[in-house]
């Protein structure tokens, strides 16, 4: 009989402990605390993930290039680097502009007018990505425009392909005049 009374006592103690653990207020607090901890952890992980996808500061710095054009005389060009690419900034002479406009009427491999390749009112300035559209060589300046020594592509004074294996004109990067003496490429 004494064993039965022990079982009864143990059962009563277990029931009291079980009743204590199943207190609704304590359970709600534990659920709330666990949910808050999980939510804060997810927010921290999400912020870190999104922040890691942002471009680095050095990449942002390369996204645009400011060019001082005040020292470029008519008939000269300046080569700058934008996004790892060579860019020609050419101050064209009135003769070069006339020749380029006259070439608008000629048959072209990649048709484009001179006016579509310069900014209105600033047609003396030509900005081109100086990479041959055939295999990526850098063309050299010649009196008629640019010549790619790798495979013989010829470009006119507006950067349009005239002869050779290149399929397209030299690209015009996005640019704008931020003052009379500065251009922002990119």
- Strands of the 161-163 sheet, one edge to the other: 140-142, 145-147, 154-155, 161-163
Q: List the single range of 59-63, 69-73, 74-78 with lowest mean pLDDT.
A: 59-63
Round the average pLDDT of the chain to a whole number and report it. Answer: 84
Q: How confident is the model at residue 1 (pLDDT cuts 50, 70, 90)?
A: very low
Q: Is 151 an annotated catalytic residue?
A: yes
Q: What is the mean pLDDT of residues 127-136?
A: 90
Using one digit for the tens of pLDDT, what is the confidence trace for 92-108? Answer: 999 999 988 888 888 88
CATH, domain 60-185, list 2.102.10.10, 3.40.50.720, 1.20.1740.10, 3.90.180.10: 2.102.10.10
The answer to whether 150 and 138 have CB atoms below 8 angstroms apart is no
CA distances from 48 to 34, 37, 86 (A): 21, 17, 35
Q: What is the mean pLDDT of residues 132-159?
A: 90
The predicted structure's pLDDT at residue 16: 56
Question: In whole angstroms, what is the distance from residue 176 CA to residue 130 CA?
Answer: 18
Helix (H) and strand (E) counts for the chain? 4, 10
The predicted structure's pLDDT at residue 109: 85
Expressed in percent and rounded to 5, the helix, strand and coil fractions of the chain are 40, 25, 40
Q: What is the pTM of this model?
A: 0.66
Return the domain boundaries, the chain.
2-54, 60-185
């Amino acid at each position: 009989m004494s064993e039965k009374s022990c079982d009864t006592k143990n059962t009563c103690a277990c029931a009291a402990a079980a009743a204590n653990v199943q207190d609704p207020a304590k359970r709600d607090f534990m659920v709330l605390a666990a949910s808050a901890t999980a939510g804060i952890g997810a927010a921290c992980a999400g912020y870190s993930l999104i922040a890691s996808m942002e471009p680095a500061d050095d990449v942002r710095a390369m996204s645009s290039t400011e060019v001082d054009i005040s020292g470029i005389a008519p008939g000269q060009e300046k080569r700058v680097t934008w996004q790892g690419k060579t860019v020609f900034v050419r101050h064209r002479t009135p003769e070069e502009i006339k020749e380029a406009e006259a070439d608008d009427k000629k048959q072209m491999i990649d048709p484009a007018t001179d006016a579509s390749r310069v900014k209105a009112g600033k047609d003396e300035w030509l900005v081109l990505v100086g990479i041959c559209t055939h295999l990526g060589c850098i063309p050299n300046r010649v009196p008629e425009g640019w010549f790619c020594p790798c495979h013989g592509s010829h470009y006119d004074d507006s950067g349009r392909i005239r002869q050779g294996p290149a399929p397209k004109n030299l690209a015009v990067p996005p640019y704008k005049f931020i003052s009379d003496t500065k251009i922002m490429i990119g």
